Amino acid sequence: MLIEKEGVHGVMEALPDAALVVDAEQRIILVNTPLCKLFGYDADQLRDAHLDRLIPEALRFDHAQHVEGYFAGPKVRPMGSGLYFFGRRADGSVFPVDIILNGMELDGRSMVMAVVRDNSDRVAVEFLKRDLLRANARLQQALNLGRMGWWEARLNEGVLLWSDAMRTLLQLPDDVKPSFDFIRDRCHPEDRDRVIADFDVLRQVKRHRAEFRIRGAAGESIWVEEVVEFSDREPDQKIALGVIRDITDQKLLEQRLRHESVTDELTTFFNRKRFDQELGQRFAEYQRTGTPFSLIIYDFDFFKSLNDRYGHAAGDLILRESSALIKEQLRVSDSVFRIGGEEFAIILPATEKAEATMTAERLRLAIADHAFNLDGQVLQVTITAGVGEVEPSDHSGERLQRRTDAALYQGKQLSRNLVCY
């Protein structure tokens, strides 16, 4: 379409957006006032200037290719076509632009009119959206790696929202709607009352932390830590935000470390530290309730000589195999402790001395009758045991221990391989 230059310039000045006309040699033919303001030039500085003046130096070659391609096959290109362009202002600053292109003939020559719009806000929003998506993906990955989920409760409205990670963490079916009732039902029976009480506390405190167990889909226990905090982002709403983290591995590790801290590795019996604790607890119970308990202390006869003759491997074999024999002779309620190198103690709850003495005799016979096989060599060993029962005159568990130790010493002095009380 053949158009007069003056008519085109008049149309351009009526446009609210920046506009310019460029010929095939990329020479600027016309500009309007909005374009001059956008790029910071006077009209006289731009007319007849090369288009490179408005293009960042690093992009000029690529932009020239775009212009050449357009003149080779001109077509209308609307705003928001997905291509990103950048302009360069008179002060050297670079900013994103969006461009509408429309071919025309002016003064008998092929030209193109470009309507230019500052695209900074849209690009900033797109970059922000991209960054938010990336941040959300990183957060989701971190939550999955940390086995964490979140929930939000609008207590005034009774509305509960929770993340997809919550479903995975708590092993919840897809058709289950978020509800505190469902979580309470999934709680371990021993923790349920406390969790219900904690929920009531939510309305009274700013921040709350709790650890409890929930039952997985297969009935297994899952330990979780929950931290709840109230948000004041909406003054007229009571909004609680909660984060739940799977701490099952941590709890299992804590249990294993606690067990190892009070357990003898060779025999799997409790150690001296645990003996002192339980003896004190049993004595305190006796003082409160009058429930009797008895104590057996035994050690192996001539154990040092056996180690010297056959080596420590023989001693370890005897202690390890005898621990299994001892366990077979005891009740579930009885506790065995390794309190020295070859010295052991047994606490028998709700047991009087006569019954404890019979138990000690069974243990003595079980050890004496057992053949310990060390690389084809059969070893026979015996134990001597002392037995004591808590008495009203005892002022501590240590006094019972001393009395039982004295009975053991008496057996050693007599002939060994016997039970004294």
27-47 pLDDT, tens per residue? 999 999 999 999 999 999 999
Q: Which residues pair with 279 in a beta bridge?
A: none
Quick check: is 257 in a domain?
no
- The vertex-103 CA angle with 100 and 104, nearest 5°, equals 130
267 in the same domain as 334: yes
- Looking at the fold, whether 103 and 22 belong to one and the same domain comes out as yes
Q: Ramachandran region of residue 268, left (φ > 0), alpha (ψ -120 to 50) or beta?
A: left
My answer on whether 321 and 222 are in the same domain is: no
Q: Which of 388, 313, 396, 319 is nearest to 355 (CA)?
A: 388
* C-beta separation of 316 from 266 below 8 A: yes
The domain that contains 95 carries what CATH number? 3.30.450.20
What is the structure's pLDDT at 344?
97
On whether residue 17 sits in a domain, the answer given is yes
Band (pLDDT 50/70/90 cuts) for residue 199 is low
Q: What per-residue confidence (pLDDT) applies to 382?
A: 96
Look up the domain containing 38 and give its range: 2-123
**Look-up of token digits 């420590």:** 312
Which of 104-108, 225-229, 343-347 is modeled with the greatest confidence?
A: 343-347
Calculate the CA 88 to chain-centre distance. 49
Same domain, 303 and 416: yes
181 and 304 belong to one structural domain: no
The reply to whether 248 and 181 lie within a common domain is yes
1 pLDDT higher than 50: no
Q: Are residues 241 and 269 in the same domain?
A: no
Mean pLDDT of 190-214: 78
* Residue that terminates a domain, selected from 108, 123, 138: 123
* 195 close to 206: Cβ distance less than 8 angstroms: no
pLDDT band at 24, cuts 50/70/90?
very high
Examine residue 137 and state whether it is found in any structural domain, yes or no: no
207 within a domain of the structure (yes/no)? yes
Ranking 74-83, 164-173, 220-229 by mean pLDDT, the lowest is 74-83
Residue 182 above 50 pLDDT?
yes
**What average pLDDT does range 373-377 have in this prediction?**
89
The arithmetic mean of pLDDT across residues 401-407, rounded, is 96
CATH assignment of the domain containing 412: 3.30.70.270
Same domain assignment for residues 286 and 225: no
Q: Which tens digits make up the pLDDT trace of 253-290?
A: 888 887 778 888 899 999 999 999 999 999 999 999 99
Q: Is residue 352 part of a domain?
A: yes
Tell me, yes or no, whether 201 and 271 share the same domain: no
Residue at a domain's end among 226, 252, 278:
252
In a domain, 85, yes or no: yes
C-alpha–C-alpha distance, residues 65 and 50, integer Å = 15
> What's the average model confidence in pLDDT over 359-367?
96
Domain presence at residue 130: no
- The answer to whether residues 247 and 267 belong to one domain is no
Mean pLDDT of all residues in the chain? 88
49 lies in a domain?
A: yes
What is the pTM (predicted TM-score) of this model? 0.51
Number of domains into which the chain is organized: 3
Between CA 401 and CA 407 the distance in angstroms is 10
Q: Indicate whether 280 and 378 sit together in one domain.
A: yes
User: What percentage of the chain reaches a pLDDT higher than 70?
Assistant: 94
Lowest mean pLDDT among 60-69, 78-87, 111-120, 270-279: 78-87
Give CA separation, 130 vs 86, 124, 204, 318, 392, in Å. 19, 10, 40, 69, 78
Beta carbons within 10 angstroms of residue 246's beta carbon: 20
The per-residue pLDDT for 195 is: 80
Query: What secondary structure letter does DSSP report for 269?
Result: -
Q: How far apart are CA 28 and CA 76, in angstroms?
A: 19
